Chains A and B, each alone.
Chain A
Amino acid sequence: MCDSCGCAAGGTEVVIGGHRIVPQTGDAAVLTRLLAENDATAAHNREHIEEHGVLAVNLMSSPGAGKTALLEATIETLHREFRFGVIEGDLETENDAERIRRHHVPAVQINTGTACHLDAEMVHEALHELPLRKLDILFIENVGNLVCPAAFALGQHRNVTLLSVTEGDDKPAKYPVMFRASDLVLITKADLLPHMDDFDPALAEARIRQLASAAPVLILSARRHTGMAPWAEWLRSELSALRARVGTKAAA
């Protein structure tokens, strides 16, 4: 521990029988961040995904906000432009992956059992089942949960959080860790907005800004296919930015 402020800058301190020990060369490497191992696996995943020039997007929301419906609408709208792949995280069923496969998009289902989130190791295994060299954009649909998934990096380039208009515009204030980690927020089920007089998109956005987040906020309806163009444009610009950085797809 650092003596001036108590931060862990110097790594973890080891005390044996009341005596602080000085780390020796060859000591077991002491990591400080609790999730250091998950983060290292996530970094490895990202490297592997980038080798193929693929953009990885981690989709998060509460259950029922419309993640799978958004993916289906996105595939329908953009399948001529992008080759998609999907990793589906769900507690129990294979239903979501089956919905995606009906659109002739490769999908790998991860059943997390009792775990309320995906972690980097689960995604690592799923990656080996996907034809990355034939993909442009990989969506990772996380388990529906606005708390736990925020803590676990997977190897994604971007976090996208869905907030449906049936949920309440104060969700960003209630789940700040999740919304703070978001690179883009999609307000979904916009077709229901005329019936939801207690959901104000401007208020939802104001609460996101109060988290010191500059993430763009887009409003769309996957069911009615409205508002899809700005979302498509965001994907387009993220993919081209990634490829400008890592080089274009070598074998495409």
Chain B
Amino acid sequence: MHELSLCRALLKLVEPIARQHAAPVSRVVLRIGPLSGADPALLRHAFPQAAAGTCADGAMLELLLAPLRVRCLQCGAEGDAAVNRLDCAICGATRTQLLSGDELDLLRVELQPLEVKDAHV
């Protein structure tokens, strides 16, 4: 359960952006792969706790799940894989290259300027 640490790392990336534009964070979008070592459900659970009292207090966390795909270094086939079956599904070779699936990236930060928010009140 290191998702709280990950959320704190996320906030460290987001905070300077919010400070620079002097606007609170309304939404954060992450891309997360099944081999990133992070659990989406635990991230969703940890994020509001980590964000409480920060510039991202109350912000939405959106997770885009990256597919798990490999390319065989022997036969060149590309295909979907399972987290514990990264060998080639076509020729059985155990030397493959991960094309996608270990990402844990901050894709987008959305800020909501205070005056715009006020206009809706």
Binding site for B on A (CB under 8 A): 1, 6-8, 12-17, 21, 27-38, 115-117, 119, 147-148, 150-152, 172-174, 176-177, 180, 207, 209-214
Contact = CB atoms under 8 A, between A and B. Distances in A.
Contacts of A119: 5
A13 B23 CA distance: 15
Contacts, number: 131
Contact of B108 (A13, A31, A34, A177): A13
Interface in B67-110: 70, 83-87, 94-96, 98, 103-110
21 contacts: A6-B31, A6-B64, A8-B106, A14-B108, A14-B110, A15-B109, A16-B21, A16-B113, A21-B21, A30-B13, A33-B106, A34-B6, A34-B9, A35-B6, A115-B5, A117-B2, A148-B37, A151-B6, A151-B37, A180-B86, A209-B87
A176 B106 contact: no
Contacts of A33: 104-106
Interface in B1-27: 1-2, 5-6, 9-10, 12-13, 16-17, 19-21, 23
Q: Is the interface of A mostly helix, strand, loop or mixed?
A: loop
B87 to A, nearest CB: 5
Given A17-B111, A177-B35, A32 B5 contact: no
Interface residues of B, number: 43
B46 interface: no
Contacts of A13: 107-109
Nearest to A170: B84
Contact of A150 (B30, B37, B95, B111): B37
B38 interface: yes
Interface of B: 1-2, 5-6, 9-10, 12-13, 16-17, 19-21, 23, 30-31, 35-38, 64, 70, 83-87, 94-96, 98, 103-113, 116
A16 B2 contact: no
Contacts of A210: 84-87, 94
Contacts of A150: 37
Nearest to B73: A212
A213 B10 CA distance: 30
Given A27-B20, A210-B85, A211-B86, A151 B36 contact: yes
Contacts of B110: 14-16
Contacts of B10: 34
Contact of B13 (A1, A34, A152): A34
A17 B116 contact: yes
B59 to A, nearest CB: 12
Contacts of B86: 176, 180, 210-212
A213 B85 CA distance: 11
Contacts of B70: 212
B52 to A, nearest CB: 17
Most buried by B among A27, A35, A147, A207: A35
